[in-house]
Structure formats: C-alpha cells, structure tokens
Amino acid sequence: MIRFNDVNKWFGANHVLKDINLHIQPGEAVVICGPSGSGKSTLIRCINQLEPIQKGEIFVDNIQVNKRATNLTRLRSQIGFVFQQFNLYPHLSVLENVVLSPIKVKKIARREAEENARELLERVGIPDKADDYPSQLSGGQCQRVAIARGLAMNPKVMLFDEPTSALDPEMIKEVLDVMVELAVEGMTMIVVTHEMGFAREVAHRVFFMDEGQIVESNAPDAFFDHPAHERTKAFLSKIITHN
C-alpha cells in the first residue's frame, strides 16, 4: 500500500530523512516513535507530499507520488491526515468542516456528503455536535471531528501525527478508542505517537526513528520487551519512566 525506496530529504543542509525504506501492507497499522526532531512528522508528511523529497521514490497504492505528473489532488483525496493541533477550520461548523473536501474535491452532492458526515460523527461519538463550531468543543472532540473529516474522503490510508499529544490526559482515551476501532476494522494507518498502550493493542509493527533513520522495526511485543538497539532501549526507558 505504501512503499518508500531509499527516500532522502533535506531541509537546506539539514539531512532529515536518510535512506528510508519501508513497505506497509493494506490493512496494516504501524506506529512510529522516536525522539523529538528525529523526522517522524516529516516522514508521514512526505506520503501526501505536504513535503517534497529530494531523492528516492514513494508509492501509494502503486502510484508514485513524488513525480510531477502525479495528480496530487487525487492522491490527497485518498489519504486522511490528522494533525497534532487538529487544524479544524474555525470559521466553519463541525458539519461544514467534514463535508468541505468531499463536496469541493470529490464533487459529492451536498445531501449525500452531509448524510455521510453525520454517520461519521456518530461513529466518532459526537453526533450532537454537528452544528457547533470548533471553538465550542473540547480538544478531544476536536480531534474526533478531525478524524471524521479524514474518513469523509473515504481514504485508503489514514496518517496521524501525534494525534493525542496536544490533549489533556482525560481526553486521550476517547481519541485512542476511535483509532483502535479503525485499526480493528482494517484501516491502513500510520500513527506517530508515544502512546505505547495503543501500539501494543493494535499495531502490527512499531518503528523507532532516530536522526532521520528507521533504527528498528518489530512487532509491538518484541519491540517493547526485547528492543535490539541501544538507542531504542534508551528511548524506551525514558518514555516508560516518564509515563
């Protein structure tokens, strides 16, 4: 579903992604963790070309994304992206946030888009908030709207960039529950997170990134219980004592 071949990216002289190779199967849920600045966000932002890459190839569903000829609008309409800071549109109601792209990008009729949006809001547990504005919602509710907004495009892949790290602790679970459900239903997803409970529960693989490289990748139990690399061990001991 997603394939990286020797992907390299620089921000100016800063080499941020170094020879990244990975292959993610349809229906797979992958968690990426690693220290701040290791390139986790950059890696997933390259998948929908929010960031261009300078070397290598990225394929989504067998379509090479880092080519001029690629229809980015079409590509992006197949990839849901959930941001750490939600990035909901503050001037639009919750319902309008969810239907905007289906109507404008996918050209779905408004009626149908709204019906679908209400179903999705139901699914993420906030059917009664459709007419509220983002500023009237809690962080957890905002993030669930953002997930609904992603799902409304009927994407093949969902990408999450630290979806719970801007949330108060008591709201983390309500967002994770929605994500667990998605994973269980077989959504292909890549999640940058340090929520190790989530990783153990639903991830098929966990990647550890450091200094622009994927240092280690393994099934979650093996990853947490028997990390192979020193850097992984050091990182895990830090976040575990911290939790």
Pick from 22, 30, 41, 60: which binds ligand ATP (CB under 6 A)?
A: 41
The yes or no reply on residue 136 touching other proteins (CB under 8 A) is yes
- Least separation in angstroms between residue 98's CB and ligand ATP is 26
Instruction: Give the separation between CA 192 and CA 73, rounded to whole angstroms.
Output: 24
The position carrying tokens 């239907």 is 99
Pick from 14, 21, 85, 237: which binds other proteins (CB under 8 A)?
A: 85
Give 35 or 125: the residue with its C-beta nearer to ligand ATP. Answer: 35
Pick from 30, 65, 79, 191: which binds other proteins (CB under 8 A)?
A: 79
Pick from 41, 77, 141, 143: which binds Mg ion (CB under 5 A)?
A: 41
Long-range contacts of residues 201-207, Cβ cutoff 8 Å, at least 24 apart: 202/29, 203/29, 203/30, 203/31, 204/28, 204/29, 204/30, 205/28, 205/30, 205/31, 206/30, 206/31, 206/32, 206/33, 207/22, 207/30, 207/31, 207/32, 207/33, 207/34
What is the distance of C-alpha 134 from the center of its chain? 20
Give 64 or 84: the residue with its C-beta nearer to ligand ATP. Answer: 84
Please count the helices (runs of H) and the strands (runs of E) in the chain.
Answer: 9, 10
Residue 18 has a CB neighbour count (10 Å cut-off) of: 15
Give 116 or 232: the residue with its C-beta nearer to ligand ATP. Answer: 232
The yes or no reply on residue 11 touching ligand ATP (CB under 6 A) is yes
From the list other proteins, ligand ATP, Mg ion, none, partner contacted by residue 231 (C-beta under 5 to 8 A by kind): none
Q: Which stretch binds other proteins (CB under 8 A): 104-112, 120-128, 187-195, 218-226?
A: 104-112
* Binding stretches for ligand ATP (CB under 6 A): 11, 14, 16, 34, 36-42
